[in-house]
A and B are shown apart, each in its own frame.
Chain A
Amino acid sequence: MKMPAISSACRPVALISLAAVLCAPAARAGEASLTLDGGWHDLTNAANSAKAVFDGVSGGPTGGVALQYGLGESFFVRAGARYFQRNGERVFVAAPGSPVFDLGHSLKVRIIPAYGLIGFRFLQGGSFRPYIGIGGGVTSYNEESDVAGEIFTSTATKPSGQGVIGLDYGRGTVRFGGEVGYSLVPDVIGFGGVSNVYGEDDIGGLTAVVRLSFVR
């Protein structure tokens, strides 16, 4: 399988992640957990474009699943994926700042990021454990719209990077938490459509989720 090339924007993220993993303390038998999360993803980096086709809203609901493994008391690694889909419609906009006119042709956008990250948890031994993390992965983009039976599609899979900050609560088998993250996914859009009008090419942005973890 051909691996996607790592863009220059993601190389520092990838190098830092690799260094963190290599420099992490030797693991004892760590915690493993399965996490389900759900919340909101905002296409912050393409807000104008998203608002144009999504009737003034730049994001939508998202949900995901992840596997996490503790490296000692503080470090952890996580691998996961999320799913984002939003329906909108094709529009016309003449230029940035111009009014947007809905044309009534349905449009669907789907974004699926798959990621790995390494994190650090603070306050060892406590019930509340804030943490930070950084990582990268690949994100799949799919857009489809139907104009009187003619289907217009746009697909891309690009490297992505993200950073997160969160808080977990609990010491038992089931734990709760919340997390805010920011992602970068450049060079996905901007080749046509409203994203070309606004000059926006990045489908990343802010994501806020609540988390439910099952710890073993």
Chain B
Amino acid sequence: MKLISRLIVGATLAAGGAFLLHPLQASESIRIASLRTPAEPIAAHRADEVVVQFRNQVEDRDVSRVTRESGADRVRRGRSRGRYLMHLDAGFTVAEALDRLRARPEVEYAEPNAIFRASQVRRVTANDTFFNAQWHLEMVDAPRTWAIQSGDPSVVVAVLDTGIAYEDFGPYRKAPDFGTTVFVQGFDFINNDTHANDDNFHGTHVASVIAESTNNAIGGAGLAFGTALMPVKVLDAEGVGDTFSIAEGIDFAAENQAVKVINMSLGGGGNSSSIANAVTRAVGRGVTVVAAAGNDGEGTVSFPASLANVIAVGAIDGRKQKTPYSNFGSALDVVAPGGDIRRDDTGPGQRPDGRPDGILQQTFDPDTAAERGRYDDFAYFFVVGTSQACPHVAALAALLYRQGITDPSAIQASIQSTAEDLGPAGRDNTFGHGLLRPSVALTGLGLNR
């Protein structure tokens, strides 16, 4: 179904500009997508792969010998020095390989190639798209934020996800509301090529929160719509990735000097030294790393959001209440709108407007993609999850870098110190430091005010 929508983003509040809304012109319908659940349990790690980190002085012939003696059928070199992905011979288990590797003095550490999933719970589709339906942008005062700054292509956000619908290539199509969005060269670590196209839907939706083309008379808006995006595909068509791919993706993104923010709307898989080290390297290069807290509804933030040098983002609904699915705990830094499709609280005057309270952005229909292999059935979808909360913070990090805060720890401190305190006074495990407030963070501090 072809969509036609017209939208004009409001002028600055300070200038007293009116917030104009034009109604949708074309016919519209609301489709409720079915809830898809996995057919069988997802394994914690790949059954025939191990990630191994050799010490710096080990030579290639020693790597070959050690991996062969530890059960390797073939070995793939990683982007970071000394990191390899071992594919095991049929006669070896992961446990046996790890035992042998960890006994070798040449090996710094070895770990299973754990599996990570996109942090998205469920989705509801809608064909009508207005900026005023993007309650999540209103909640973080996007119009005021844009009056200060809306991003610049010199600052790149790397989206480590299922890819992005950023180009016309083979069966893939560029999403219609990326017309003015700037993309830089990314990489597909699932298929090992330079076309990080989205074959799931998740990455496109996440990327749209950050930089969906705005003020172009179609679709929705992105919080940092002037920012450039780098698609880095580390999750497959099912939204599943692994330790090696994610660590590779982080290193790839951080090696590009223009990348200042990494968004990871993914989690699970357990702690990983490879990923932790890659994050540390990225932060050392001045990159702010933001990750989703996870959707298990548990009191422990998922990895890698749980890392101290990563901004962990939880989700709230349209009432600024914690969503039932959002993880929480001592590692939680801030919350952002993630939505709750069971609720309808975000119409005018906080009354129901007939639309579920999901995060509304563009992407393609996942059912069409999965069942027919078509990635061009674009629409505007309400999706909920800490996956959707996370890119709000990544967008703010990009805006802050452009504004002048060029250190990741300072960006994190700015976001935390200017957040709207929710729940008990001060930081708490449910809301962290509170709800991000981009316009306040970008305003900064005067001498006494």
- Contacts across chains A and B counted by CB atoms under 8 Å: 102
Docked-complex contact B148 and A148, CB < 8 angstroms: yes
Contact indicator A90/B417 (Cβ below 8 Å)? no
Nearest chain-B residue to A49 (Cβ)? B447
Q: Verify if A197 is at the interface (C-beta below 8 Å from B).
A: yes
**Residues A91 and B403 in contact, CB atoms below 8 Å apart:** no
A73 within 8 A of B: no
Of A29-37, A98-106, A157-165, A176-184, the one contacting chain B is A98-106
Contacting pair A94 B409 (CB below 8 A): yes
On B, residues with C-beta under 8 Å from A are 12-15, 147-148, 403-407, 409-410, 413-414, 417, 442-449
When the two chains form their complex, are residues B445 and A91 in contact, meaning their CB atoms are under 8 A apart? yes
User: Which residues on the B side are within 8 Å of A149 (C-beta)?
Assistant: 12, 14-15, 147
A-B contact pairs, 13 of them (CB 8 A): A92-B404, A92-B414, A92-B445, A94-B409, A94-B410, A99-B410, A101-B410, A105-B443, A145-B446, A149-B15, A150-B14, A150-B443, A154-B447
Q: Given A101-B404, A103-B403, answer yes or no on A153-B449 (Cβ-Cβ < 8 Å).
A: yes
Residues on B with beta carbons closer than 8 Å to the beta carbon of A150? 13-14, 443
Which of B407, B413, B442, B444 is packed against the most chain A CB atoms within 10 Å? B444
Interface string of A107-129 (1 = CB under 8 A from B): 10100000000000000000000
Are A189 and B12 within 8 A (Cβ)?
A: no
Write the chain B residue with the least CB distance to A103: B444
Given contacts A94-B409, A104-B404, A149-B147, contact A194 B446 (CB under 8 A): yes
Chain A residues closer than 8 Å to B417, beta-carbon distance: 94
Say yes or no: B448 contacts A195, CB within 8 Å. Answer: yes
Q: How far is the CB of B414 from chain A (nearest CB, A)?
A: 5
A147 within 8 A of B: yes
For A49, the chain B residues whose CB sits under 8 A away are 447
Specify which of A46, A90, A197 is in contact with B443 (CB 8 Å cutoff): A90
Binding site for B on A (CB under 8 A): 46, 49-50, 52-53, 88, 90-95, 98-99, 101-105, 107, 109, 141, 143, 145, 147-150, 152-154, 188-197
Residue of A at shortest CB range from B14? A149
- In the complex, what distance in Å separates the CA atom of A52 from the CA atom of B448? 12
B405 lies within 8 A of A107 (CB): no
Q: B404 touching A103 by the CB < 8 A rule?
A: yes
Q: Give the chain A neighbours of B13 by CB distance below 8 A.
A: 150
Within the complex, the shortest CB–CB distance from B412 to chain A, in Å, comes to 9
CB neighbours (8 Å) of B446 from chain A are 53, 90, 107, 143, 145, 152, 154, 192-194
A149 vs B15: C-alpha distance when bound (angstroms): 7
Smallest beta-carbon distance A90→chain B, Å: 4
Judge whether A154 and B449 touch: CB under 8 Å: yes
The answer to whether A154 and B445 have CB atoms under 8 Å apart is no
Among A107, A145, A150, A153, max chain B CB count under 10 A is at A150
Closest to B406 in A: A101
Closest B residue by C-beta to A93 = B445
**CB-CB nearest 4 A-B residue pairs:** A149-B14, A94-B413, A189-B448, A103-B444
Contact B448 A193 (CB under 8 A): yes
Q: Do the beta carbons of A152 and B148 come within 8 Å of each other?
A: no
Q: Is the CB of A190 within 8 A of B444?
A: no
Q: Which residues of A contact B405 (CB under 8 A)?
A: 92, 101, 103
User: Which residues of A sit under 8 angstroms from B447, Cβ to Cβ?
Assistant: 46, 49-50, 53, 88, 107, 109, 143, 154, 189, 193-195
The CA of A194 and the CA of B445, in the complex, are separated in Å by 6
Chain B residues, CB < 8 A from A98: 410, 413
**Least CB separation from A141: chain B residue:** B448
Known: A147-B443, A148-B147, A149-B15. A94 touches B414 (CB 8 A): yes
CB pair A104–B445 under 8 Å, yes or no, is: no
Q: How far is the CB of A103 from chain B (nearest CB, A)?
A: 4
Determine the distance from Cα of A148 to Cα of B148 in the docked complex, in whole angstroms: 5
| Cβ contacts under 8 Å, B413 to chain A | 94-95, 98
Do the beta carbons of A91 and B444 come within 8 Å of each other?
A: yes
User: A59: shortest Cβ distance to chain B, in Å?
Assistant: 13
- Name the residue among A94, A102, A154, A194 with the largest chain B CB count within 10 angstroms: A94
Task: Determine the chain B residues whose CB is within 8 A of the CB of A102 once the complex forms.
Answer: 404
Contact of B444 among A50, A90, A195, A196 (CB under 8 A): A90
Q: A103-B405, A153-B449 are in contact. List 18 more A-B contacts (CB 8 A).
A: A49-B447, A53-B445, A92-B405, A92-B414, A94-B409, A94-B414, A98-B413, A107-B447, A148-B14, A148-B148, A149-B15, A149-B147, A188-B448, A190-B448, A191-B449, A192-B449, A193-B449, A195-B447
- Complex Cα distance, B407 from A46, in Å, reads 25
Known: A90-B444, A148-B14. A101 touches B449 (CB 8 A): no
Q: Which residue of A lies closest to B443 (CB)?
A: A147
